[in-house]
Chains A and B, each alone.
Chain A
Amino acid sequence: MASFSVIDSFKLSKKKFFRAPQWELKLAIRILIGFLVLYFLAAFLFLGIGIYFIVQKTVPDQNPVFFVNEFLIYYFGIELLIRYFVQNLPITDIKPLLVQPISKNKIVQGVMLRSLGSFFNWIPMVILVPFGIVYSLNEPTTYTLWIWVIGVLFISGINNFLVFFINKNRVVGLSVFLLLLAGSFFQHVLGIPLLSFFGKGFNYLYLHPISIVVPLALFFGIVCAQYFFLKKQLYLDKGFSEKKERIVGSDLKIFDRAGILGLFIKNDIRLILRNVRARQVVFVGFLFLFYGIIFFSQKVYLESYVMLIFAGVFTTGGFMLSFGQLVPAWDSEYYSFLMCQNIPYRKYLESKLYLMMFSVVISMVLSLPYLYFGLKIMTIIIACAIFNFGMGSFITLYSGAFNATPVKLNVKAKAFENTQNFSLTQLLFTLPKIVLPVLVFYVPFRFFGFSAGILGMILTGLLGLLFRGFLLRAIEKTYQKRKYKTLSSFKKT
């Protein structure tokens, strides 16, 4: 029984990777992503080193530790939320191990240890440890500082395991998000410092090192809870059983009037409502709505129109870009079925196009609060929306013809593993989607000023609408030409 160790569990993961189809390409992508991860880790490292000096400069009379504590609740809240969307226990991988002579303890330990390797567990470490070192070099410190660091790291560890339980329940996930939102609303808008209590709690950890028993107890508590929970789940009818899903989105009669087009739109709505991966992408598209805040609220960017156009394109086209770039891959699971049905290709493409256009309208309406930043910003947003509506949508649809990597509909994409649909051609196609709007704005803007730039964007959008039939035909031809290629790559998973 003892021969199967945690190391063997890692070995299996390794084999799974190297024996997957196209692993060479995946390896190349992994290396690229490795660099990206390194970049982020380095950035966080510098943040960790820098925090002390930043606080010294901006609020010299506050203890940097207390300053950091104020932010920790936001950090953990957001971390939990991101983990909720991307972190998953690799529980199905272990199904074949069940009938092997491996003790259940070993299996569960393997799964739980592997989850500790998650990127999210590294972030607080690379921030807090350098912060602690810098702090202790500059201030007289005692061991309490390191107790605090360890305590906070354990809280992040709690998150790592907590997310597993939250994952089981969508309501809990949503309420974490809403609580955080409500908390910051009370704190910043109403001036009731609810979230500061958490900051005080973390301060307490620093001032009274004995209180580290609280995070420690919670950590070991949740580890044990998960351990025993998972052990009980190692049965086919428990952890591996497919949950019976509630049927959602069955009543879509309003689209019946739209004929064949309505049929496809109905399918697409159901696709989004009923599949994990699609919901995930839509959520990402939703997050893009907030992209503008970063740019519109900063004086630096207000000087540079190029950045504002970027922001406008992403804010109004987030869903279009994230959902649209996976057309036709959304239908990859049954693409051969679609191809031998009595379906005009054109109608299929049109329904996807309308869905994207519709999303741009919704995004624009939801962007109306940006009026707060002034009329100029609003003008940019509206111009970007018109561009996305009339031109961006066509480019996105066209680029889809070259994306032949299948999408697993009901499987979550993991953090930094969202490479399922990564390809060089896709990367190339993001250029016109982002650079073109900047270009059609910037060239007239350079010569005739702001209004001309805005007009340039609007006209480009209208041009796309005017030549709608022509563009659709061209796109249809491209899809048809690539049909066999697409079909054969959709077959590979």
Chain B
Amino acid sequence: MITVTDLSKKYGGTLVLQLPELNIPKGQRFGLVGNNGAGKTTFFSLILDLIESTSGRITINEIDVKSSEDWKPFTAAFIDESYLIGYLTVEEYYYFLGNLRGLSTKEIDTWVLNFESFFNGEILGKKKYLRDLSKGNQKKAGIVGSLIGSPDLVILDEPFANLDPSSQIRLKKLIENIAKNSEITFLISSHDLTHVTEVCDRIVLLENGTILKDIKTTSSTLKELESYFSLKE
């Protein structure tokens, strides 16, 4: 799905990301962990062609993200609140996204019902602008928004942060369900090691812009990560 070759990103003279090679196959749930400043968001921004790489290239389905925009129809992301349009209601936001991805308003109305338990009655039909929702509810709205129109690739930055405990568990189930029933590739970054190891089948640990660990998730992965991060103190 995603192929990274010789990728690097420098700000001024400082190297913030260096990935000589990375392949993410289709259907993988790819987890990205690392302390602040490790390069997680930079990597996501590079994939989405929101910043320019200093060297190297990224392809999604063989499409070079820098020179073509053809990856956009099947790629979706929710990075932070700036991925919401604050002055729209949730429904209007979904219609906007859905219509862009070729769904009709009616199709969206029925599709959204799949997420009723995740929304917990706090999102739909509230007659509120997105900017007036709480941080947690904004996150829920955004995550579901990124799933509209069944994209092939979904990128989520810190999806568990700001969610209440029940919602975190529901989100895990949601992602697992989708992964079971489809071939969607997930890229998920998180500071919550427990959640990310439970949800993802592969974990990559970034530190100062380079890959320190690349693990296929097993029952011992969480311990391994925890011992790494506690040694850092």
Contact indicator B87/A410 (Cβ below 8 Å) = yes
- Cβ of A274 to closest chain B Cβ, rounded Å: 4
A247 to B75, CA, bound (A): 31
9-residue interface stretch from A40-48, A184-192, A336-344: A336-344
**What 6 additional pairs, Cβ within 8 angstroms, besides A340-B75, A343-B100?**
A263-B100, A333-B86, A340-B72, A341-B97, A342-B101, A409-B86
Chain B residues 60 to 111 lying within 8 A of chain A, measured CB to CB, are: 72-73, 75, 77, 79, 82-89, 92, 96-97, 99-101, 105
Interface string of A337-371 (1 = CB under 8 A from B): 10111110000000000000000000000000000
- Cβ of A257 to closest chain B Cβ, rounded Å: 12
A489 sits at the interface (CB 8 A) = no
Scoring A341, A484, A487 by chain B CB atoms within 10 A of each residue's CB, the highest score goes to A341
Q: Which of A256, A335, A409, A488 contacts B51 (CB 8 A)?
A: A488
Q: Which of B50, B92, B96, B132 contacts A242 (CB 8 A)?
A: B132
Name the CB-closest residue of B to A272: B87
A263 to B85, CA, bound (A): 13
B49: chain A residues within 8 A (beta carbon): 339-340
Q: Which of B72, B82, B127 contacts A336 (CB 8 A)?
A: B82
A-B pairs under 8 A by CB, number: 75
Q: Is the interface of A mostly helix, strand, loop or mixed?
A: helix
Instruction: Give the interface residue-count category, chain B.
Output: 20 to 34
- Cβ of A61 to closest chain B Cβ, rounded Å: 58
Contact indicator A247/B89 (Cβ below 8 Å) = yes
A72 sits at the interface (CB 8 A) = no
A-B residue pairs, 9 tightest by C-beta: A337-B83, A274-B87, A340-B48, A342-B73, A342-B72, A484-B52, A336-B50, A342-B100, A334-B85
B195: chain A residues within 8 A (beta carbon): none
A410 to B100, CA, bound (A): 26
B128 sits at the interface (CB 8 A) = yes
- Cβ of B82 to closest chain A Cβ, rounded Å: 5
Name the CB-closest residue of A to B47: A340
A3 sits at the interface (CB 8 A) = no
B119 sits at the interface (CB 8 A) = no
B191 sits at the interface (CB 8 A) = no
- Cβ of B217 to closest chain A Cβ, rounded Å: 27
- Cβ of A167 to closest chain B Cβ, rounded Å: 20
Contact indicator A267/B88 (Cβ below 8 Å) = yes
Contact indicator A484/B99 (Cβ below 8 Å) = no
A250 sits at the interface (CB 8 A) = yes
Name the CB-closest residue of A to B127: A247
Contact indicator A334/B82 (Cβ below 8 Å) = yes
A260 sits at the interface (CB 8 A) = yes
B115 sits at the interface (CB 8 A) = no
Residue pairs across A and B with Cβ atoms less than 8 A apart, 16 shown, are A245-B129, A250-B89, A260-B99, A270-B92, A334-B83, A334-B85, A336-B45, A337-B82, A337-B83, A340-B48, A340-B50, A340-B77, A342-B72, A342-B73, A409-B87, A487-B50
